[in-house]
Structure 1
């Protein structure tokens, strides 16, 4: 297993797709993963990717009879936070405000609940001095 921490964004696109399927299903067999992929690779290719992802420390598995059930090592929200920080750093010059502005610009219409939630987060950040 590698000692360097690997983020989802650092994986090749096909391995990233496999991990995304596992996050969506929470736990999956190679066959279940293969079913979820568009233009899926062969079963042996899926198994090879799962093995590499385990070596990289991204996935782990448990055995149930002859079947292996794979799951992610890190929680989805933790991985999402890491990927988002990297995205903000690379594309928005480490400016969360610039990233938020871009995201708001992508949305055609925000609901009142969305606006209230955003305002509450802004108020909380101000109160905490962030």
Structure 2
């Protein structure tokens, strides 16, 4: 899988593939905001396949496209990229920034669940 950044259109199409869990070029195009031509969508899908971000299989006369990786792996890669790019690789700084920015938006129950997850992480680390 290529590590080069995706263009805005590539990212949009890949997001749609994850949301739909795959589909034809026409189905992807129907979900796009301000979609380009049919051939442009097919070209971008082909580029995503070439880069390893998507995969295709032929069904009848058309191709069906799907994400080239699991949602979990895609989340880890995207989050890792974000932490490296904006927080110098510091997970603590990224998490602290998010808490500081979102604290007013989180309910007491959400904050309690986050605190519980931190406690669970501590416990599992001690058990190793």
Bin of the TM-score, shorter chain as denominator length: 0.7 to 0.9
Q: TM-score, normalised by structure 1?
A: 0.86
Q: Which has the higher helix share?
A: 2
1:80 match = 75
Unmatched 5+ stretches in structure 1: none
Higher relative contact order (CA 8 A, sep 6+): 1
> Is 1:38 aligned to 2:41, yes or no?
no
> Is 1:14 aligned to 2:4, yes or no?
no
How big is each residue's C-alpha offset from its partner over 1:50-109, in whole Å with a ceiling of 9 and x where there is no partner?
Answer: 111111111112222112110011012211111111211221122212111211223233
Q: Which residues in structure 2 correspond to 1:1-130 (within 5 Å)? A: 5-7=1-3, 10-107=5-102, 108-127=104-123, 128=125
Q: TM-score, normalised by structure 2?
A: 0.87
How big is each residue's C-alpha offset from its partner over 1:24-48, in whole Å with a ceiling of 9 and x where there is no partner?
Answer: 1001110111111111010000111
Root mean square deviation, CA, Å: 1.6
Distance in 1 between the 2:7 and 2:105 partners?
A: 34
How big is each residue's C-alpha offset from its partner over 1:103-128, in whole Å with a ceiling of 9 and x where there is no partner?
Answer: 12232331233222211221123221
Unmatched 5+ stretches in structure 2: none
